Amino acid sequence: MIRQLFVLLLAASLISGCSLFGSKDNAEPPAALKAFKKRAELRELWSYSTGDGTDGQFLKLVPTVVGERVYVGDRNGSVAALELESGKLIWRSKTGIAISAGVGVGGGLVLAGSSEGRLVALDAETGKQRWQAEVPSEVLSVPQVYEGVVVVQTVDGSISALDAENAERLWIYDRSVPVLTLRGTSTPLVDGGVVIAGFASGKMVALDARSGREVWNAPVAVPHGRTELQRIVDVDADPVINRGILYAASYQGQLVAVSLQDGRVLWKRDMSTYAGIAVDDTQVLVSDADSDVWAIERSTGRSLWKQSELRRRALTGPAVIADYIAVGDFEGYVHLLMPRDGSIGGRIRVDSDGIQATPVTVSGDRLLVLGAGGKLVLYQLAAL
């Protein structure tokens, strides 16, 4: 219980900029917003209230877009399916669990995980419950589906594979969890029959989706320092695959490019993040632990630019939308950055309760944003 409380306080301090130790808060405050030259804007197409949103918890309830539908969960257990074009409600289902991560969709199922270690599968067409299952611990990442196999990673350092038809456990993969970790889990990727996941130990691991057998592992960070606090190297930012290369990053560690074929590290550079990364045609984009946004050359790992005007504003991971980069912040603003130099080219406020989930790009030039207060908005990008 003491360990869990400390980790929760640590995560809160990273997000708010508050000091953990001592009565005086000497941490750098969030940067004040400055005037900028407006070069683009986001025009609202529709909005929908999911309910209570995160209900005051730090949860990345990222919405999922599949085909012409949007699926989204609410902390109080509701899952909704909406028409992508209109935002019209198709169905809404009460799961009876405290949803703690974004919903996963695949194989005709919508999957929601809970803080109590429950996984609920709903029918994607109707919202009717198909099954419930127990998983080892809290779910803070999006469940995945691959050819009849449901894959879910939990905060205890394990990955479980379940049969999508009946929830029978197929295999489980365990890794030890360090004494201290951040409260978070990156979402596993499934590519070509291989499950790729990051762990609190600072490693990326590739597993056979059918058997759970380890195919390769690659270090993203090596713990160092004299205290357990200094040795935290969680891989909490969702990894990205692009053109056969895996890009991953850790807290107090590194950003790495890894060959999907054999786990060989192609390049690495120092970086600390728990928020997220994105990849465009030439750059890897990172919101770091201080909420500076970096553009890193994809082929070499060389820095191209750094945007520090949003420092300490608890930025989400970046999303690439047409010729811009979108990030959300703790006051509920979405900022549009220019890809050549990171300068701010647009801004809109979405939800006064803040934005915790990385915005989702839709069809290249639309952006789906979920605020912590439960406001879900689809925007159209318009250059000025």
Domains of the chain: 60-182 (2.40.128.630)
Residue 147 — very low, low, confident or very high, per pLDDT cuts 50/70/90?
A: very high
CA quadruple 104, 105, 106, 107: dihedral sign: positive
Mean pLDDT of 125-146: 97
- Other CB atoms within a 10 A radius of the CB of residue 341 amount to 11
DSSP state of 11: H
Distances from the Cα of 129 to the Cαs of 92, 97, 112, in angstroms? 11, 12, 11
Closest residue by Cα to residue 34 from 297, 333, 302, 353: 333
Task: Tell me what pLDDT residue 26 has.
Answer: 56
Return the closest-CA partner of residue 249 out of 159, 186, 293: 186
Residues near 217 by beta carbon (within 8 Å), at least 6 away in sequence = 203, 204, 205, 206, 263
Give the H/E segment covering residue 90.
strand 89-94
Asked whether residue 23 carries a pLDDT value surpassing 80, the answer given is no
State the DSSP code for 108.
T
Chain centre distance of CA 186: 6
Query: DSSP secondary-structure letter at 281?
Result: S
Residue count of the chain, please give it: 384
For residue 129, give the DSSP letter. E
Q: What are phi and psi of 8, to 5 degrees?
A: -65, -45
Per-residue model confidence as pLDDT tens digits over 238-259: 999 999 999 999 999 999 999 9
H or E element in which residue 65 lies: strand 64-66
Residue 16: pLDDT band by 50, 70, 90 thresholds? very low
Q: Does pLDDT of 19 surpass 50?
A: no
| Helix, strand, or coil (residue 7) | helix
Q: DSSP secondary structure string, 158-201?
A: EEEEEETTT--EEEEEE----SS--S--PPPEEETTEEEEE-TT
In three-state secondary structure terms, 79 is strand
Per cent of the chain over pLDDT 70 is: 93
Share the mean pLDDT of the chain: 92
Residue 2: enclosing H or E segment and its boundaries?
helix 2-16
Residue that the structure tokens 């695959």 belong to? 241
Instruction: Tell me how far apart the 2 most distant CA atoms of the chain are, in Å.
Output: 56
* Secondary structure of residue 85 in the 3-state scheme: coil
Residue 1 has pLDDT above 50, yes or no: no
Average pLDDT over residues 285-303: 97
Label residue 184 by pLDDT band (50, 70, 90): confident
**What per-residue confidence (pLDDT) applies to 331?**
98
Q: Does the pLDDT value for residue 186 go beyond 70?
A: yes
3 pLDDT above the threshold of 50: no
Statement: residue 25 has pLDDT above 70: no
Measuring CA to CA, which residue among 354, 362, 355 is closest to residue 381? 362
Per-residue confidence band for 342, with pLDDT thresholds at 50, 70 and 90: very high
Average pLDDT rounded to a whole number, residues 80-86: 98
pLDDT mean over 323-327? 97
Confidence class of residue 168 from pLDDT cuts 50, 70 and 90?
A: very high
For every residue of 341-378, DSSP letters joined together read: T--EEEEEE--TT---SPPEEETTTEEEEE-TTSEEEE
pLDDT confidence of residue 24: 45
